[in-house]
Structure 1
């Protein structure tokens, strides 16, 4: 499969400080996986390489916590309960900001979709509309967390090495067109 320039984009999911920066609310649970796969340098390399290749980046951010979030959810998920308890990605907080080297560059053309409340960056957001509006037909997805928000890429981490391995080796092949490393994918951008 090739990834034609002009129709290919990177979707970067939840590169929040609360997930991937030391001191973040969820970082202790992800730290082992983040360090094992070298997530931060991989994501930084991916973002720089994609920008150098002229490929746009679309951000799929999780809802930044606000007081009252999830209060009226009839069936909150485990992640909703955890985010509410920790006030994860709180609006206006350091944890709710994107990590510095992964921040969107709006002047360059990066697009930030509306926030998602669930694990999908597509459900109840404008991500699909934004991709279609910009003529994107091919995407690669990177970011956090492997077994909930991400599809086929190695620029991801999970709450355990076992969950990450299961995502990459079992789950992704069931729904993704291809599972590639970031370097393999970057070579396929034409």
Structure 2
């Protein structure tokens, strides 16, 4: 495959690498376990992060809002997902579940984006500004969940003019039925490339 990704043009967006998603003891891991294991998610995330670091490509951490007990109490229109996250204190602030997984700790040169409140890592955060200030035009989007934050962030990125790459075995979902449209139906309407981990690494 032609090497279309390099450090002068490309950034890796790593969405929600929290313990609650990626550790077997995490609150949401049981819901993603079947899909995550079927695509070998954890190893693929490690391979990609290691591969882009070796290539000098900058890593942007794109974290979801860390839950607090009084979230949304004065909001006009919180979504059912937001209210469920509050109830379960998913990615709770100052908790183990709300920490980045130990295998995916930020390193010098990485950029930690402001937390997003819903699905898109661009909406109401500094992600667009940070990517532009680093002079990048292409984004590779990995992490959690395929049909939620990954799709919303990637689609928003396309609308902002970025070249968007999805990696279909470096994400997960609560069900196979949710994974399928993310890559086979919805993804092709906005992504410029939908690759496997192996294909991505060959293109670095």
What TM-score comes out, normalization by structure 1 length? 0.94
Structure 1: unaligned runs, 5 residues or longer: none
Question: 2:67 and 2:96 mapped to 1: Cα distance?
Answer: 12
Moved more, 118-127 or 78-87: 78-87
How far did 1:137 drift?
0.6
After TM superposition, where is structure 1 displaced by more than 6 Å over at least 4 residues in a row?
A: none
Question: Which residue of the partner structure matches residue 164 of structure 1?
Answer: 179
Structure 2: unaligned runs, 5 residues or longer: 152-165
What TM-score comes out, normalization by structure 2 length? 0.88
Matched position secondary structure for 2:150: coil
1:109-159 Cα shifts (integer Å, max 9, x gaps): 110000000100000000111100111111100000000111421200000
Moved more, 23-32 or 121-130: 23-32
Matched position secondary structure for 1:124: coil
How far did 1:82 drift?
1.3
Question: Which residue of the partner structure matches residue 185 of structure 1?
Answer: 200
How far did 1:44 drift?
0.8
Question: Which residue of the partner structure matches residue 20 of structure 1?
Answer: 22
Question: 1:71 and 1:103 mapped to 2: Cα distance?
Answer: 32
Question: 1:181 and 1:6 mapped to 2: Cα distance?
Answer: 22
CA RMSD of aligned residues (A): 1.2
Q: Are 1:103 and 2:118 matched, yes or no?
A: no
1:56-84 Cα shifts (integer Å, max 9, x gaps): 10010001112211212211112201110
Matched position secondary structure for 1:147: helix
Question: 1:89 and 1:138 mapped to 2: Cα distance?
Answer: 28
**Contact residue 6 and residue 56 of structure 2 kept, 8 A:** no
Question: Which residue of the partner structure matches residue 167 of structure 2?
Answer: 153
Moved more, 65-74 or 89-98: 65-74
Question: 1:162 and 1:48 mapped to 2: Cα distance?
Answer: 30
Moved more, 153-162 or 3-12: 3-12
Residues matched between the structures, number: 187
Q: Are 1:74 and 2:64 matched, yes or no?
A: no
Matched position secondary structure for 1:179: strand
Question: 1:71 and 1:135 mapped to 2: Cα distance?
Answer: 39
Question: Which residue of the partner structure matches residue 91 of structure 1?
Answer: 93
How far did 1:91 drift?
1.0
